[in-house]
Structure 1
Amino acid sequence: MFDPGSDPDADLLSAAVAGDRDAFAALLRRHYDRIHGLAWQLTGSRADADDVAQDVCCALVEKIAGFRREAKFSTWLCGIVYNACRDLHRRKRSFGGFTARLAVLAGLARAPDGRDLYDAIWLKSAIMRLKPAYRDTAILVVGQQLTHGEAAGILGVAEATISWRMHEVRRLIAEDRTPTA
Structure 2
Amino acid sequence: MGNQNLIWHPTVVSKLDRHRLNNHKSCVIWFTGFSGSGKSTIANELDAQLYLLGIRSYLLDGDNVRHGLNKDLGFSSEDRHENIRRIGEVAKLFVLSGQIVMTAFISPFKQDREQIRNLFEEGEYIEVFINCPFEICEHRDPKGLYKKARNGEIQDFTGIDSPYEPPNNPELIINTDQFTVKEAVEVILEYLRGRGIL
TM-score of the two chains, using structure 1 as the length reference: 0.30
Structure with greater helix percent: 1
Structure with greater strand percent: 2
Q: Which has the higher contact order (CA 8 A, sep 6+)?
A: 2
